[in-house]
Structure 1
Amino acid sequence: MMFALAMLVALGLDALIGWPDGLYARVGHPVVWIGGLISRCEKAWNRGGRGRRIGFGALTVLVVVAVSAGLASVALLLDGWLGALVTGVLAWPFVAVRSLHDHVAAVARPLAAGDLGGARHAVSMIVGRDVTRLDEAGVARAGIESLAENASDGVIAPLFWGCLLGLPGIVGYKAINTMDSMIGHRSERYEAFGKVAARVDDVVNLIPARLTGVFFALVGGGAAWRVMMRDARGHRSPNAGWPEGAMAGALGVRLSGPRFYETHVAEEPWLNGGAPDPDGAAMGRALAVYRRGMVLAGVVLAALALV
């Protein structure tokens, strides 16, 4: 299966070298290019009444996905081993396996060393909650939850859609996910305009989020599976509870729960609520579970490529 081989190439390249700073300085990053298109659409169309905003938000989804996936469809002309290699190289920037690991490790190191201020600063780079009110357990929860959820959004979901639809699939998925990150917020400015983007993102992540949870459960032991199956559906998100629940069970800690934002406190139910809070050491174990889960994903891709 050529698409699976291409996704294995993309995963391998990103795991080995990430997206080099020198390359970013020279050409930027394709997700940033997509973000620029989203910003232009939002500035031009996010105005007027609620109905108009919803309608033009839906149009934004169509335009951004059509342009992004349409350009990527040129890769469908490629075939064979060479086609898989070229497609894999083109898909490489849409997989974030290394950068996700490095961003969370940047939180785990100061937290394990007792540097709460440094850990708070590092976690502020990857979460939207008010980090000034987070203690050690709060920082650890935020980092582990981000790791688990973004393992789906940043790695497994892109690979899943790339395996199904090739380069247009992985690029189209990242366009949808980037729109959700940029405009899919429940704020006065974005609640109506980003409504369709948020709903579409929920749909395209339904299978990948559960698949990510399965990977974590397989490498994390029986408790990971039990907690995931028991608690995932109670999460505020229809998707994030699956990888987060599996991670909570694998580590033997509780995740989710109340979280502080600038304007309010979100009272969320616990995942694995009877377990203790995580700490810096738990973050290190979470990164180990993540690495094993991504290796398992690579093994699955290799098996699919041989079919």
Structure 2
Amino acid sequence: MAMIAVLALLLDALIGWPDAVYRRIGHPVTWLGRLISALDRALNKGALRQAKGALTVALVVAAAAIPAALVQVWLGPWVAAVLAWPLVAARSLDQHLRAVARPLAAGDLPAARAATAMIVGRDVTRADAPALARASLESLAENASDGVIAPLVWAAIGGLPGIAAYKAINTMDSMIGHRTPRHEQFGMIAARLDDLVNLIPARLTAVLIALASGRRARGALRVAWRDAPAHRSPNAGWPEGAMAGALGCRLSGPRVYADRVAEEPWLNAGAPDPQAADLARGIALTRRAVALAGAALLAFALI
């Protein structure tokens, strides 16, 4: 199973998901998204919304995992690795963050705001350079866990059905796992299940980020251990805290959404705000962390 994860990561690093392929057939996550949207429209109304949400979770996970399991049994691990490839998002994450880092380093705030708005949900229309760097680094750390390390972990555990089930759960959380009047009950099971399947990967991501930071590893782990429990998410605070400690800057804190200001606690409070150069350092740090994960998986597969 670990070799499936290694090969999927290698294919993603070399090729990514080409735009020409996306324009022609979309992406497995978009296919899942259409199914989730259809079930949301059909079931998220009337009474028993939490039960209907649980049914949605079961249907979406089954729709992802059962065909994946059949493919792996019938066609073998090499085909499974190729099909797992688009479910690892290391290259895409790197590209999206570099799209912010370039204009931010050049002082082009409008372009940096536009690129940041593509990867975060908060309002960045009036954000200054430190706020843009902070938002982007938080997205980088969280998505290093959700988009790269967690899929690799579940591929190593369960092969193609493992990574497919994980992506189904994670996509449901991003679409319906919100504390809004419409989704608070319907998306509750999806959100709780996403918390569960990311429990170990988020902490593993924090360790990998710390190890990749070299001499700052102990400080990175100390910040994550101390500050992650205060984060609004039971998981995201771990990689974000490690990133803050590794770079020697503060992350999280108050942020503006469309209709409110969220007074979030700081990670690594007392440290300075990140600057444009810190975003570039964070991207390089994440690359090293992912490389460490790949090396560990390869060693495990060979053993």
Q: Normalising by structure 1, what TM-score? A: 0.96
What's the counterpart of residue 157 of structure 1? 150
How far has the Cα of 1:268 moved from its partner? 0.7
Deviations 1:110-164 (A, max 9, x none): 1111011111100100111011132111111110000000001001111111111
In structure 1, the residue matched to 2:95 is 102
List per-residue Cα deviations over 1:3-53 (Å, max 9, x = no partner).
11111010001011100011112222111111111011000011114xx11
* Cα separation, 2, equivalents of 1:39 and 1:185: 14
**Cα deviation digits, residues 266-296 of structure 1 (max 9, x gap):** 1111000110000111100000100100100
Shift of 1:85: 2.2
2:55 to 46, 52, 59: 59
Normalised to the residue count of structure 2, the TM-score between the two structures is 0.97
1:231-246 to 2 correspondences below 5 Å: 231-246=227-242
Find the counterpart in structure 2 of residue 90 from structure 1.
83
What is the DSSP-based 3-state SS (H/G/I as helix, E as strand, rest coil) of the residue aligned with 1:132?
coil
Name the structure 1 match of 2:181: 188
CA deviations on 1:28-86 (whole Å, 9 max, x unpaired) are: 2111111111011000011114xx1111111100000011101111133158xxx3322
Letter in 2 for 1:150: N
Q: Does residue 290 in structure 1 map to residue 299 in structure 2? A: no
Which amino acid in structure 2 is aligned with residue 58 of structure 1?
A
- Report the Cα distance in structure 2 between the residues aligned to 1:280 and 1:78, rounded to whole angstroms: 49
Give the conservation status (yes or no) of the 8 Å contact 2:43–2:52: yes
- Asked if the contact 2:89/2:147 (under 8 Å) is kept, the reply is yes
Matched to 1:19, the amino acid is W
State the one-letter code of the partner of 2:33. Answer: G
Question: Aligned residue pairs: how many?
Answer: 300
Does the aligned pair in 1 maintain the 2:202–2:239 contact within 8 Å? yes
- Give the Å deviation of 1:188: 1.8
2:222: which partner in 1?
226
Q: Distance in 2 between matches of 1:303 and 1:78?
A: 27
Counterpart position of 1:33 = 31
The alignment yields a C-alpha RMSD, in angstroms, of 1.1
Which of 253, 264, 267 lines up with 2:249 in the alignment? 253
Aligned residue number for residue 298 of structure 2: 302
| Corresponding residue number in structure 2 for 1:43 | 41
Distance 2:25 2:142 in 1: 28
1:159-174 to 2 correspondences below 5 Å: 159-174=152-167
> Which residue does the alignment assign to 2:131?
138
Equivalent residue in structure 1 for 2:115, among 122, 137, 162: 122
20-29 or 117-126: which moved more?
Answer: 20-29
Q: What secondary structure sits across from 1:285 in the alignment?
A: helix
Secondary structure (helix, strand or coil) at the match of 2:161 reads: helix
